[in-house]
Structure 1
């Protein structure tokens, strides 16, 4: 009897210990979940955003293979993690190449390699099994949060894949052609197809689609704890839908909303940040030699007139679309790639790193197949690390709703040399660059002793001092 009592007491002790251990684990998980403050205006001021192409980030192409590298992204100053679509991809009309469908491929073995476009979604609240499980995704989100990163999901409200159940259960949700057939997206101005044959176009003139789409988005915010969305072709979806849905989403928790658009009217509503397409295209053109710094100056005046002071633009030298269809930054910009990467950090806005840029990826990543990057640290990892630290810590580079000031500085050759000051109170950062493929000499209206940030050396600037610049050479100067 005594032995039984002792045994029962021991079991009770073990049970209590296990309960306390589980309680401690639960408290630790809860603490981790609240360790990252909610998204706020401050989030956008000094952040770097990273676009995660899970399929091509690793040979495995899985959440888990990506998640283990999240601490490396923290080294780069990443604070917003944009994850490309994670949902199952429709098989019907799946794209194999830009102009071929999966139905055009007869060899079964060859068919298997064509994974389709991330943007042809068959179920908005499911996980693409190629990437892993829901639990794997939850681990990714928690790891990101533990490393001080907000997670935003790519959201495709404009269209679904052809296998989506709404096509058969709710055909009234879709655009129709003259024969009454569900159609792929058409150019609203011409009525001609865009060529997105692997997706079916949702019809927002029928407001019955509003609530179902909102509910699909709420699931990821409420049940999976994500922190916002990158909204694909946001201006192809009526503003009325965003004005309906986004306040309801933000009532669940504060969110960071990125739109694939540069339309200023969307920034006046529910979105926090848009795409800096105009600046990106000018950078490409300067690199090609078809535009000059004079065009950059015109652009900056144009942007200041077009947008409100608290509008935020995402600055980019690459993205999944740009890389796949127009080439890597090295293909488009050549030796100017690093210079324009630096410019995306010091100009107003938030800089983007696309998967592989930190590893000097020079190839076009295939859009419809797995095409993993090579993760070997080369030149740009250290460059992005240094730029990220400056962006994170120096208020003169604030680029959000309370952005630091931008002031052009006069040089003796303003057609070819860009020089400007970013300032926030006593904090000042200066950028100078020869934006040509030729050696250049110039003078600049700067005096004093500065820290040459990228080299770590001190440099003194005197009035009228001639500066010799190599092709595409740039400086980031901080007043000592």
Structure 2
């Protein structure tokens, strides 16, 4: 089958925060339909839709009560079918979120098919990703069930073949509706070590990340379902190393097309914990991305991302969201989009949306953030210190409503939004998107170049100025052609010899060049040369 996804750009929609069509303060499917022309204009190819399934919404829809029903908040199955039709009419493909490591405890299986879940008479010491024990006692069964996430998200028992077939049947049902692929939530956690040994300090990751049968299950899923459709698949895989990624994405092994790695997202934390902050060392980022570029070249495929619904806004994280917001947003985009892989744009990234600083912990909605706050306060950590971490890393940074215009709530809703809008929506919004100097137009050009230039899809990657702590520079090369990409990650002015070639794209009005490159703060310049 054609590997169309290698030249595609993905746009992720977090439906609760994208566009509200009925004034209830919650984004919905009809709101997405209203904005399809905006996405078509941007030029993206695939829309990844975060979960819209029926859910009690304990973890923002990642706790699924019914896989074959739409959550009332988001609309109806008829709305969803219209969305697919409208997208396909515009040449857009739809990638659904597939959440099959766990369900909601309100899923009918939990009461009618307990064998579909993982039960123990005695818990081990594993901790949940959302704080506390990963085991919950069930009075009725007088046993404990495993939940690696919320206690309302019991893990499925992939050892049970009947459960696996039920999942595959559900996947076929969506694909037969016209869905064009799946983003698979924490899919490398589905196989657990059946001895359930204790982990060091409660960290059981070694016994369920990339577990003993995970490749068997993914190959079976591919054989039974995925191989029968022309679709795209990406696995979210915490703890997956490069050698794991090569196995998961090697075409010969028939598992998934690409994975999401988390390594580069952990480079600004001082320990294994995301809330333990440290400044990013640019050399760490360069070495990491170089490693992934080289390792998967010709033996797998990369997914390229800075942002998603679980990550803070990149312009606030690795850029400058004040004086150089526009420049650094464009620079970060160029740095990522000229690499090999399929790039992902998260809603609002294309207009340079920033992190939010709510005054009170009461304004935050994310279960991970609220559980962490409660746990750290009980340990005596000062409120101000915890809030500093939340401002930097909290998942709600990505979940504030999309900023469409300068009106109240950024034009997201005429009601009261489920989570407060970022107050800067009056100045940061989509109204300037037709301006040739806008971040939106810069992203649009990057998406266009990827479609036109095979070198971006296939070229070799070579890192330049390896030890420089301020510039991220690299070349992409195929026989007879070369791209040279310079990205200044600092507020300093930097000088380098000018490479040969024509100017392809840049983020200042006119690059300064007199036989050398003078990079201004957060400047990016890309040169293209036919050899």
Pair 1:211 & 2:165 matched: yes
TM superposition shift of 1:74: 2.1
Q: 1:48 aligns with which of 9, 14, 19?
A: 9
Q: Secondary structure at the match of 1:78?
A: coil
- Equivalent residues of 1:450, 1:460 under 8 A apart: no
Q: Give 1:173-322 correspondences, 5 Å limit.
A: 173-178=116-121, 194-222=148-176, 224-238=177-191, 239=214, 240-261=216-237, 262=240, 263-264=244-245, 265-268=247-250, 269=253, 270-282=255-267, 289-292=279-282, 294-303=283-292, 306-307=295-296, 309-322=298-311
> How big is each residue's C-alpha offset from its partner over 1:422-475, in whole Å with a ceiling of 9 and x where there is no partner?
23444432211222232222335x23x41242369897977xx44322222111
- Equivalent residues of 2:486, 2:525 under 8 A apart: yes
**2:459 counterpart residue number:** 404
Q: Secondary structure at the match of 1:130?
A: helix
> How big is each residue's C-alpha offset from its partner over 1:52-87, in whole Å with a ceiling of 9 and x where there is no partner?
111110133121211122222122221111111110
Please provide the CA RMSD for this pair: 3.3
**2:524 counterpart residue number:** 474
TM superposition shift of 1:334: 3.4
**1:330 counterpart residue number:** 315
Distance 1:342 1:357 in 2: 13
Q: 1:136 aligns with which of 71, 79, 103?
A: 79
Pair 1:417 & 2:471 matched: yes
Distance 1:390 1:288 in 2: 35
Q: Give 1:338-353 correspondences, 5 Å limit.
A: 338-353=330-345
Q: 1:443 aligns with which of 486, 497, 515?
A: 497
Distance 1:191 1:350 in 2: 34
Q: Give 1:104-119 correspondences, 5 Å limit.
A: 116-119=59-62
- Equivalent residues of 1:451, 1:457 under 8 A apart: no
- Equivalent residues of 2:465, 2:471 under 8 A apart: no
Distance 2:400 2:510 in 1: 43
Distance 1:460 1:424 in 2: 28
- Equivalent residues of 2:236, 2:261 under 8 A apart: no
* Unmatched 5+ stretches in structure 1: 1-38, 96-115
Q: 1:65 aligns with which of 9, 31, 47?
A: 31
Distance 1:70 1:87 in 2: 20
State the TM-score, normalizing by the size of structure 1. Answer: 0.74
Distance 1:366 1:186 in 2: 17
Distance 1:185 1:267 in 2: 28
- Equivalent residues of 2:508, 2:523 under 8 A apart: no
**2:53 counterpart residue number:** 87
Please tell me whether Structure 1 or Structure 2 has the larger radius of gyration of its CA atoms: 1
Q: Give 1:447-466 correspondences, 5 Å limit.
A: 447=500, 449-454=501-506, 465-466=515-516
**Worse overlay, 197-206 or 364-373:** 364-373
Q: 1:154 aligns with which of 97, 104, 110?
A: 97
Distance 2:333 2:81 in 1: 32
Q: 1:168 aligns with which of 93, 96, 111?
A: 111
**1:373 counterpart residue number:** 402
> How big is each residue's C-alpha offset from its partner over 1:210-262, in whole Å with a ceiling of 9 and x where there is no partner?
1111111110012x111110000011013222221222213432221110024
Q: 2:452 aligns with which of 393, 404, 422?
A: 393
TM superposition shift of 1:329: 1.9
Residues 394 and 316 (structure 1), Cα distance of their counterparts in 2 relative to 1, 3 Å cut: same
TM superposition shift of 1:191: 6.4
Distance 2:44 2:346 in 1: 11
TM superposition shift of 1:367: 4.4
Distance 1:459 1:469 in 2: 8
Q: Secondary structure at the match of 2:120?
A: coil
TM superposition shift of 1:124: 0.7
> How big is each residue's C-alpha offset from its partner over 1:269-301, in whole Å with a ceiling of 9 and x where there is no partner?
41001114334445999x975413x43443245
- Equivalent residues of 2:128, 2:148 under 8 A apart: yes
Residues 427 and 71 (structure 1), Cα distance of their counterparts in 2 relative to 1, 3 Å cut: farther
> How big is each residue's C-alpha offset from its partner over 1:109-139, in whole Å with a ceiling of 9 and x where there is no partner?
xxxxxxx521000011111121111121111
- Equivalent residues of 2:487, 2:522 under 8 A apart: yes
TM superposition shift of 1:165: 0.4
